[in-house]
């Protein structure tokens, strides 16, 4: 138990960079976001109303507790309040909701070729250079080669954004056209810079993955060598810095960034931030993305790094493209030679060539400072080991907190062999010789160490090896969707393991004590890295279809995805959604499942959201009772179908009404192919859809009948509409929600 917790903690530090929220030991007042009825008509009067609402709290200096007003897209304000005051406000007539401000955490070369978008792929450079991608992250590195603006003209005319002052740099150019930071509490972060500068590396990495210019001969220590680039190298980048080194990513800053990005005129928003999720009408990423969608902007977000646990997917609002992380066909491994001549293999990026043939090898416990630290020394934690016993040796540790390589090095050790049974599919970068082995190899190493009086070993420099792919990363969050049993999430999978992209010069590669490695490029893993791959695919589709709605772009990406296999990933669609993103095919899907904002509203009503919370999201009065469709239907024109069965009913029937829009050849016909899992019956009416013109719509009905299921967590079927030119595939999944209650 303790072990797996520590291991998970370690992974988070590596992959999602846990931020410790501060403020828990400050005054009892906390930040809240207060949403008011109606949407703003003019900024000045909205602000006045915020102050007057705050003033109605007895004994409060409104201007002192007021932190920020959202007046462009939302009618809301952030304020510092006591719990009592927050409660009082929420009962006021003109207030629709009061939500506590929470702090969230952040969740290449080969990867684009791997998913079939090589540098030679057809592109529409002129339209592409009119695409603006907005990235919400830790900031950006403006001097990075990925953001050089060679050959790009001035920003598109629609652009209304701006650049905040950059500490030492000239600021924006024709590639990086926007860069702003959001810290509405104005409290300085001691480990960060009040500018859009990225001191962390995460934001530089994600935005260069999405839209970085071509940089030939990029690598990390010669590994993953190739031309680094984004999906849409001619698109423009706008960075909205909402994540800070110490405090993490505050809801009130994220909401402010949404308001800015929507008003500025971005085309796609990419958010590699996760953590907490509330309801679809109160979670700020969900609320922000809804308003972005209404303005024609698709929000692409990471599914989270809480896998392989089921029911862990985040950012699962129906209007968001939710992205899981997959592996590509390479990995970075180090050989370890033991003194007995045997060689074993570990994972990780280790840039160091050994200077000796062999080094003495000790376990962490062998080096314990005292009997009291013997247990923690097994994990090589700081302060647990005796430097005299570590000096000059390789130390064998269990994976505990991240950074055993740094601890061992600081004590004069040579390197670290770390044992772990989790998350062996991504390669962390080490600051000293180190590698990670699984427990079966660990057992062999231990056996060897006990069989020899003076055990020894050596870790060699890492090499790239080919592996089978794709597969879903162990850390990638899984469904089923905790927000609603009627919607399959994640939507799509994209590469998120060992991705090479630009990095900040302001931080060493690991950020660990004693690390002197710096690099323009580095490898990172996480759904944080898969999100900009899918965001890039969305921008690529948009460059061919600039007039498509966010839902149409999303549908195109999902129905053209490359199917993945439940033989590789047992959790099937709960792991990969519709499958691996396939940008080239997504630009010509044949048919799309399109939707407008009222369709989503209808879905929310059907889900049991009440009229007032749905009205608050939409900013206008909605009467849910007039919108709810017949029972048993999912009430959403989604490109995938999910049926939650009732275990006490035999069988459960689900009806899915769908409408597709012809975006392919004017005159065309599609035939239905159904793949049915055992114990499930699927029918489609009609089985043929004929079109005589572009943008013509056709409706059909899918009926799914499923018996109570035994053992399996998910049953996978699909509906495929096929024409001679197109394959439009929708996964149909069946599961038992009671298993997850």
Ligand X SMILES: *[C@@H]1O[C@H](CO)[C@@H](O)[C@H](O)[C@H]1NC(C)=O
DSSP bridge partners of 434: 416
Shortest distance, position 593 Cβ to ligand X, whole Å: 40
Chosen residue from 1, 2, 167, 371 binding ligand X by CB under 6 A: 167
Instruction: Point out which span in 402-410, 433-441, 536-544, 586-594 binds ligand X (CB under 6 A).
Output: 433-441
Instruction: Point out which span in 72-80, 85-93, 435-443, 696-704 binds ligand X (CB under 6 A).
Output: 435-443
Give the nearer residue to ligand X in terms of CB position, either 197 or 595. 197
Q: Which 482-541 positions form the footprint of ligand X (CB under 6 A)?
A: none
Q: Is 146 annotated as catalytic? A: no
Non-local CB neighbours of 533 within 8 Å, separated by 6+ positions: 111, 112, 115, 209, 210, 231, 323, 494, 495, 496, 499, 581
Instruction: Point out which span in 269-277, 309-317, 363-371, 438-446 binds ligand X (CB under 6 A).
Output: 438-446
Cα distances (angstroms) measured from residue 520 to each of 86, 351, 523, 620, 666: 46, 15, 11, 48, 48
Q: Which 175-194 positions form the footprint of ligand X (CB under 6 A)?
A: 193
- Of 273, 184, 245, 278, the closest CA to residue 22 belongs to 245
Helices 251-264 + 284-294 axis angle, to 10: 10
Q: Is 168 among the residues that bind ligand X (CB under 6 A)? A: yes
Q: Which 631-650 positions form the footprint of ligand X (CB under 6 A)?
A: none
Shortest distance, position 505 Cβ to ligand X, whole Å: 8
Pick the catalytic residue from 66, 137, 515, 525.
137
Shortest distance, position 344 Cβ to ligand X, whole Å: 7
Q: Is 441 among the residues that bind ligand X (CB under 6 A)? A: yes
Phi and psi at residue 691, in whole multiples of 5°?
Answer: -125, 145
Give the nearer residue to ligand X in terms of CB position, either 58 or 168. 168
* DSSP letter (8 states) at residue 96: E
Shortest distance, position 195 Cβ to ligand X, whole Å: 8
Pick the catalytic residue from 66, 107, 200, 202.
202
Q: Is 245 among the residues that bind ligand X (CB under 6 A)? A: no
Burial category of 546 from C-beta neighbours within 10 Å (exposed 0-12, middle 13-18, buried 19 and up): middle
Shortest distance, position 200 Cβ to ligand X, whole Å: 12
DSSP bridge partners of 32: 79, 100
Q: Is 450 annotated as catalytic? A: no
Q: Is 306 annotated as catalytic? A: no
Pick the catalytic residue from 528, 530, 551, 723.
528
CA 2 to chain centre: 27
Give the nearer residue to ligand X in terms of CB position, either 275 or 308. 308
**Per the structure block, which two tokens stand in for 442?**
């660990």
Chosen residue from 90, 162, 246, 438 binding ligand X by CB under 6 A: 438
Give the nearer residue to ligand X in terms of CB position, either 4 or 671. 4
Burial category of 498 from C-beta neighbours within 10 Å (exposed 0-12, middle 13-18, buried 19 and up): buried
Q: Which 192-221 positions form the footprint of ligand X (CB under 6 A)?
A: 193, 197
- Of 4, 30, 10, the closest CA to residue 103 belongs to 30
Phi and psi at residue 128, in whole multiples of 5°?
Answer: -55, -40
**Per the structure block, which two tokens stand in for 665?**
């050849």
Q: Is 445 among the residues that bind ligand X (CB under 6 A)? A: no
Contact 230, 210 (CB under 8 A): yes
Chosen residue from 440, 620, 621, 738 binding ligand X by CB under 6 A: 440
Cβ atoms < 10 Å from Cβ of 568: 16
* CA pair distance 427, 433, nearest whole angstrom: 13
Q: How many CA atoms are closer than 13 Å to the CA of 695, on its beta-carbon side?
A: 4
Shortest distance, position 439 Cβ to ligand X, whole Å: 7
* CA pair distance 590, 666, nearest whole angstrom: 10
**Per the structure block, which two tokens stand in for 609?**
């959201």
Contact 586, 560 (CB under 8 A): yes
Cβ atoms < 10 Å from Cβ of 370: 9
Give the nearer residue to ligand X in terms of CB position, either 197 or 232. 197
Instruction: Point out which span in 3-11, 61-69, 372-380, 436-444 binds ligand X (CB under 6 A).
Output: 436-444
Chosen residue from 82, 90, 345, 401 binding ligand X by CB under 6 A: 345
Q: Is 7 among the residues that bind ligand X (CB under 6 A)? A: no
* CA pair distance 574, 517, nearest whole angstrom: 38
Shortest distance, position 507 Cβ to ligand X, whole Å: 11
Contact 11, 423 (CB under 8 A): yes
Q: Is 588 among the residues that bind ligand X (CB under 6 A)? A: no
* CA pair distance 492, 486, nearest whole angstrom: 17
Angle 628-630-635 (CA atoms, 0-180°, nearest 5)?
60
Residues near ligand X (CB under 6 A), total = 8
Give the nearer residue to ligand X in terms of CB position, either 197 or 680. 197
Shortest distance, position 168 Cβ to ligand X, whole Å: 4
Contact 107, 273 (CB under 8 A): yes
Give the nearer residue to ligand X in terms of CB position, either 85 or 192. 192
Shortest distance, position 454 Cβ to ligand X, whole Å: 26
Give the nearer residue to ligand X in terms of CB position, either 443 or 646. 443
Give the nearer residue to ligand X in terms of CB position, either 4 or 440. 440
What residue ranges bind ligand X (CB under 6 A)?
167-168, 193, 197, 345, 438, 440-441
Catalytic annotation, residues = 137, 202, 528
């Amino acid at each position: 138990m303790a072990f797996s917790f520590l291991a998970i903690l370690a992974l988070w530090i590596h992959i999602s960079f846990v931020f410790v929220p501060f403020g828990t030991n400050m005054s009892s007042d906390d930040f809240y976001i207060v949403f008011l009825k109606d949407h703003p008509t003019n900024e000045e009067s909205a602000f006045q109303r915020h102050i007057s609402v705050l003033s109605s709290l007895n004994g409060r200096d409104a201007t002192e507790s007021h932190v920020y007003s959202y007046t462009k897209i939302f009618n809301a304000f952030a304020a510092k309040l006591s719990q009592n005051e927050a409660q009082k406000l929420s009962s006021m007539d003109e207030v629709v909701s009061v939500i506590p401000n929470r702090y969230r955490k952040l969740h290449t070369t080969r990867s684009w070729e791997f998913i079939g978008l090589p540098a030679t792929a057809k592109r529409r450079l002129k339209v592409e250079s009119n695409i603006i991608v907005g990235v919400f992250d830790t900031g950006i590195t403006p001097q990075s080669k990925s953001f050089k603006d060679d050959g790009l003209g001035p920003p598109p005319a629609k652009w209304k954004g701006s650049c905040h002052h950059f500490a030492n740099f000239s600021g924006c150019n024709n590639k990086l056209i926007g860069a702003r930071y959001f810290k509405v509490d104005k409290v300085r972060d001691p480990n960060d810079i009040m500018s859009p500068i990225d001191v962390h590396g995460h934001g530089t990495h994600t935005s260069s993955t999405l839209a970085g210019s071509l940089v030939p001969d990029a690598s990390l220590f010669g590994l993953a060598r190739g031309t680094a680039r984004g999906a849409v190298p001619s698109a423009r980048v706008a960075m909205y810095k909402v994540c800070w080194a110490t405090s993490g990513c505050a809801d009130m800053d994220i909401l402010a960034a949404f308001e800015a990005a929507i008003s500025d005129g971005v085309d796609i928003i990419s958010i590699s931030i996760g953590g907490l999720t509330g309801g679809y009408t109160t979670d700020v990423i969900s609320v922000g993305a809804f308003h972005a969608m209404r303005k024609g902007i698709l929000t692409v977000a990471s599914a989270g790094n809480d896998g392989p646990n089921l029911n862990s997917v985040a950012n699962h609002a129906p209007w968001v493209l939710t992205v899981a992380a997959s592996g590509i066909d390479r990995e970075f491994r180090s050989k370890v030679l033991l003194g007995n001549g045997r060689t074993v293999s570990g994972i990780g990026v280790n840039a160091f060539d050994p200077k000796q043939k062999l080094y003495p090898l000790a376990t962490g416990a062998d080096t314990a400072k005292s009997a009291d630290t013997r247990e923690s020394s097994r994990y090589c934690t700081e302060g647990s080991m005796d430097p005299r016993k570590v000096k000059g040796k390789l130390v064998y540790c269990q994976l505990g907190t991240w950074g055993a390589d740094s601890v061992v090095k600081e004590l004069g050790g040579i390197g670290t062999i770390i044992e772990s049974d989790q998350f062996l599919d991504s390669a962390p970068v080490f600051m000293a010789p180190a590698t990670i082995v699984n427990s079966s190899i660990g057992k062999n190493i231990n056996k060897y160490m006990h069989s020899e009086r003076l055990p020894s070993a050596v870790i060699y420099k890492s090499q790239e090896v080919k592996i089978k792919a794709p597969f879903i990363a162990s850390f990638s969050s899984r469904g089923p969707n905790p927000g609603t049993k009627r919607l399959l999430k994640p939507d799509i999978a994209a590469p998120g393991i060992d991705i090479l992209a630009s990095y900040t010069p302001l931080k060493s590669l690991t950020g660990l004590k004693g690390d002197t490695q710096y690099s323009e490029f580095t490898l990172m893993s996480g759904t944080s890295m898969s999100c900009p791959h899918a965001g890039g695919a969305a921008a690529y589709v948009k460059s061919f279809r600039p007039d498509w709605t966010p839902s149409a772009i999303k549908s195109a990406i999902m129905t053209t995805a490359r199917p993945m296999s439940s033989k590789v990933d047992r959790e099937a669609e709960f792991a990969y959604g519709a499958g691996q993103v396939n940008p080239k095919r997504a630009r010509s899907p044949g048919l799309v499942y399109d939707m407008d904002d009222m369709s989503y509203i209808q879905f929310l009503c059907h889900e049991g959201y009440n009229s007032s919370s749905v009205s608050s999201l939409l900013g206008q009065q909605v009467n849910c009772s007039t919108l709810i469709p017949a029972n048993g239907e999912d009430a959403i024109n989604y490109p995938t179908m999910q049926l939650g069965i009732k275990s006490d009913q035999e069988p459960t029937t689900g009806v899915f009404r769908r409408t597709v829009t012809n975006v392919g050849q004017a005159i065309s016909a599609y035939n239905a192919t159904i793949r049915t899992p055992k114990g499930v019956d699927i029918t489609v009416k009609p089985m043929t859809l004929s079109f005589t013109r572009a943008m013509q719509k056709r409706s059909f009905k899918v009926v799914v009948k499923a018996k109570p299921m035994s053992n399996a967590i998910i049953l996978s079927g699909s509906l495929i509409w096929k024409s001679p030119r197109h394959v439009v595939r929708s996964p149909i999944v069946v599961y038992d929600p009671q298993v997850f209650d």
